[in-house]
A and B are shown apart, each in its own frame.
Chain A
Amino acid sequence: MDCIISIELGTNAVRVYAFDLKGKTIAFSKGSYPTFHPYPDYSEQDPEQIFITMLYVLKNLLNEKIHAKKYKVVSICFSASMHSLLAIDKHGAPLGNVITWADSRGQKEAKILRESDAASEIYSLTGTPIHPMSPLIKITWLKNHEQEIFKQTHKFMSLKSYIIQQLTGDCVIDHSLSSATGLLDIYKKKWDKTALKYAGIRADQLPEPVPIMYSPGKLLAQYRVSLGLPAATKILVGSSDGCFATLGAGVWDDDKATITIEDSAAVRVVGTNVLVDKKQRLFNYVLDDKHYVSGGPSNSGGIVFEWFAKQFGDFKNAYDVETCMEDLITEASSVEPGSDRLLFLPYLLGERAPIWNASARGVFFGMHINHERKHFARAAIEGILYQMYSIEKMLQEHRNIKKISVNGSFASLPFCTQLIADIFNLPVSTSTNASSVSMGAYLLSATELGVFKNIDEAAKSVQLAEGCKPNKHNHLIYSKYHQVFENLTAKLASDFEALADL
C-alpha cells in the first residue's frame, strides 16, 4: 500500500507522520532537540543535531512501521517553524547555529526600522511585521554586530532549506517560509529589492523561492539506500508550520478562523486577498499561488500556564508537569468565570500581536485577601485566552468570523475549548487530527498525487468534531473583564518601557 510521509521540523522536536492515501495516520515518531540561550535574548539550535535527529527518527519509523508492514513511500513532504536563519559559508558549512523565531537580539534593529520611512513599504510588500523574529532584522543584526560572519556568508538559509539541501543538493525555500522572512514581495513572490537593500544582501545570497508543491531533486543515493526508499520517492518542499496548520484545520471559508495554542499561539484566517492593516499588526503569509494566511501571533501560549504550574503547582511525581497542570485546571474549573475579579496579563515573554511590545511583562491585577491558588490558576488561563480574543477582534476588523476551529495541545484541552467558545461568543470545533500541521502536509501531498482535484477540495475534506457552543451569560461576564484587560495592557505600555529601562 502507498503512504505519504510528513516531516515537521518544529520548535522543540521533529515529528514524523505516515499517512495512508485516505489521510489516516499509520505511524508517528518524534525526537527532540534543545534550544540554547547563550545570552538572555538569544535562542539558537544546532543544525547538524536537527539533521541527525530527523534522519534517525525517520529511519527508525521507516524500518519499524513502514518497511516492516510493506508500505511503499510515494512522497515525503516537509514543514518547519517560521523565521529561522542559518548563515552558510562558500564551502557549504554553517557559520554557527540556527537562530530561531524566538530570538530577540535584534530589538534595537527592529525599533530603528519600525520608526523609519521604509517601514510601511517593507511591511506591506513583505507581509511580515517588523519584529526581531523576522530574518530581515536578524540579517541586519548580523551586519551590525557580526561583520566577519556577515562577510563570510555565502547563503542565508532557513533551517528547512538547509535540511533539504543536505538531502537533495537543491537550495530552495518555499513561498510560505520565504514570505515570513520579511524579504519576499508577497505579491510577485520574488525577493524584494528594497528589503534586500535594507538588509545589505543580494538575491543570490538567498535560496530560490519555489511554490509549496515544488519538488526539489531526488534524495541523494546514499540517503535513499540508507533509508531503504525507492528511487521514485518524491520530495515535496512543503510549507511553514503555521500555513499547514491552517490548511490542516480545514479553515477555508471567509467566516472561519483557527486558533492554535501550543507553547506559543496564533489566530489565523485564509483568503485570496492580503489583509491591509494600517497599524502593521497582522501578518500575511503566502500559502499557494491563490491563497494567503493572515493573522496574529502571540508569545503567550501554553508555555505561560506551564510556567505557572512549575512555580505554584503540586508535584506528586518528580518532573511530572502534565499531572500537575491537570490538577490545577481541575482546581480552576471550580472558580466562577472572571476568577472573582482577578485578571492576568500573560506577557511573560513580551508580546507580539496585537501590541508588538517586546518589553511587555506579566501582571496579576486585582488581588484580594480571599483569592486562593485556584483563582490565580483560572486567571492565568483566562488571561492567555483574553489575549487570543484581542487578536481575533483585530481580525474581525477585516473579516466577519462566525466559527472557530482550535488545535494545539493547550487550546484543545476541553476546559480551554469551552472557555474560548464563551469568551469569543462563537461555536468552536476541535480538530480530530493529532497534528494539524502534518494534516496540512498530507492534504498537499494527496493533492499533488491527484487524490484531490485541488487544494480547495482538499481543505474542505477535513472533518471537524462537533465542539462547544458559547454560553451567552458567561460571554457577557468575560467581555467586561476583557475590556479591563485591554485597558490595563494599554495603560501599562509606558510602565513596561520604564521597567525595561531600569
Chain B
Amino acid sequence: MNQFELQQGLCPELQLFPHLIAIGNKKNNAIQLNSFRESTSDHLRIFYFIDGKFEWEIQDEQYLLYPGDTAVILPEKKLSSVKGFLEVGTIAWIDLNVQKLDYRNLSLGEWSNLTESELLTIGSILQLNKPVVRSRSGETCRIFIALQNELFNHEIGFHTRVNQLLDELLVSITRELTKQSNPGRDFPKVFLQLEKRLRENLSHQWSVEEMAATVGMGTTLFNERVKTYTGFTPTNYLINLRISESIKLLRKPEIKLTDIALDTGFYSSQHFSTTFKKLTGYTPSEFRKKNYYS
C-alpha cells in the first residue's frame, strides 16, 4: 500500500461518497509528544495496523496492537494512545459516517446494500464484542488495498465497487469478531451471555432474529441450539423469564400491576394477565394476594 490521505470536503476523490469521511494510509516516522490525546468522533473509525507496535486505550481498556490487527471504534467511544503520542509505525484508517447506531439499530444510509436484519446483527456484534480483531487472514488488508485502487483508478463501476467494499469490510470484521468470541464450542457459555442481556432488557420487544444476533448466530442454528439446550423455543424461554421476573415484582406490594407488565416486557396489563393466568391459573392480582404474608 502506498501512503495517501483523503478527507471529505477537501478531496475530489470522495465527492461521490459523502458517507466516507476520511481514508488514508500513513507511515509515522517520528514521535511527536502529545500528538495523540483522547478523542471521540461521530463516525465509525476503523484502523488497520500494518507495521509497528501500538499501545492504545479504547473505551477505557488497553490493547496492544500488532501488524495484522484491526480496531473498530464506535461513534462516541473514547480512543487514546496510552503514551499520549502516536507510535512509530504504519497504519491505515477509514472514518465512516453512520446514521444511527444504538443497541437495536444500525443504519448506514442509502449507499449500503446490507439488509435491515444484517445491519441489526452487525450492529449488535460490534457493540457486544471487544473492539479488536486479531486475524492473520489478511482480509482487512486486501479490502483496504482494493478501496485505494478503486478511489484513485476510477475504473468502470468504481462507484458501486467502493460501496460494496465498505459493506464487505463491515461483514468481514463482524465475522472475525464472532469467530473470536464464540469458537463454536461452548453453547452454555454463549447462552448465559444472552440470558444476562435478556434479563437486563426484559422490557424490550425482542425478536428471535435479534436474540440470535446478540450471540452472533444465524437464526436457524440458534433456534435449534436453544431448543436442544433448554427444551424451549427462544420465544417461550423469554416468556418464562418474563413471568419469573413478574413474580418477583408481584411480591413487592408497592409496585403497580401496569408497571410490572410493562417492565417485564408485556404489551399491556391485559396481555400480562392472560399470559400469567394461562400458566399459573392465577391472575397477577390473585397471585399477589395469595403470596404476600403480612
Contact = CB atoms under 8 A, between A and B. Distances in A.
Contacts of A315: 183-185
Given A31-B231, A90-B293, A51 B244 contact: yes
Interface string B246-283: 01100110000000000000000000000001111110
A91 B251 contact: yes
A96 B248 CA distance: 10
Contact of A49 (B186, B190, B236, B244): B244
B105 interface: no
A57 B278 CA distance: 13
B58 to A, nearest CB: 26
Contact of B221 (A91, A221, A318): A318
Interface string B224-251: 0100011110001000110111011001
A319 interface: yes
Residue from the set B221, B245, B247 with the largest chain A CB neighbour count within 10 Å? B247
Nearest to A320: B184
Given A222-B282, A223-B281, A32 B236 contact: no
Interface string A301-323: 00000000010000100110100
Contacts of A55: 279-280
B284 to A, nearest CB: 12
Contacts of A31: 230-232, 240
A59 B247 CA distance: 18
A46 interface: yes
Nearest to B252: A93
Q: Is chain B's interface secondary structure helix, strand, loop, or mixed overall? A: helix
Given A34-B195, A310-B186, A318-B184, A52 B240 contact: yes
A230 interface: no
Interface in A389-423: none
Nearest to A222: B281
Interface string B21-56: 000000000000000000000000000000000000
B184 A92 contact: no
Given A53-B240, A92-B291, A226-B280, A321 B185 contact: yes
A53 B239 CA distance: 10
A318 B218 CA distance: 11
Given A91-B251, A91-B293, A222-B286, A29 B187 contact: no
A56 interface: yes
Contacts of B221: 318-319
B1 interface: no
A9 B233 CA distance: 20
A154 to B, nearest CB: 9
* Interface size class of chain A, counting residues whose CB lies under 8 Å from the partner chain: 35 or more
Interface string A82-101: 00000000111110000000
Residue from the set B192, B229, B230, B294 with the largest chain A CB neighbour count within 10 Å? B230
A166 to B, nearest CB: 8
Contact of B192 (A34, A53, A92, A310): A34
Interface string A12-37: 01000000000000000111111010
A48 interface: yes
Nearest to A12: B188
A34 B188 CA distance: 8
A500 interface: no
Contact of A48 (B188, B245, B278, B294): B245
A310 B191 contact: no
A56 B236 contact: yes
Interface string B196-221: 00000000000000000000010001
A225 interface: yes
Contacts of A92: 251, 291-293
Contacts of B225: 319
A48 B260 CA distance: 15
Contacts of A33: 230
Interface in A204-233: 220-227
Interface in B168-192: 183-188, 190-192
Nearest to B196: A36
Contacts of B281: 221-227
Interface in B140-194: 183-188, 190-192
A56 B240 contact: yes
A157 to B, nearest CB: 14
A15 to B, nearest CB: 9
Given A13-B231, A226-B280, A319-B225, A310 B195 contact: no
Contact of B247 (A13, A51, A225): A51
Residue from the set A52, A166, A223, A315 with the largest chain B CB neighbour count within 10 Å? A52
Nearest to A57: B231
Contacts of A166: 291
A318 B178 CA distance: 12
Given A53-B240, A93-B292, 11 more contacts: A29-B231, A31-B230, A48-B247, A51-B244, A59-B279, A92-B251, A93-B251, A226-B280, A310-B185, A315-B185, A319-B221
The 9 closest A-B CB pairs, nearest first, are: A226-B281, A222-B281, A48-B244, A93-B251, A31-B231, A318-B184, A49-B244, A319-B187, A32-B230
Interface of A: 13, 29-34, 36, 46, 48-49, 51-53, 55-57, 59, 90-94, 166, 220-227, 310, 315, 318-319, 321
Interface of B: 183-188, 190-192, 195, 217, 221, 225, 229-232, 236, 240-241, 243-245, 247-248, 251-252, 277-282, 286, 290-294
26 contacts: A13-B231, A32-B229, A32-B231, A36-B192, A48-B248, A49-B244, A51-B247, A52-B240, A52-B243, A52-B247, A53-B240, A56-B240, A92-B291, A92-B292, A93-B292, A94-B248, A222-B280, A222-B286, A226-B279, A226-B281, A310-B185, A310-B186, A318-B221, A319-B184, A319-B185, A319-B190
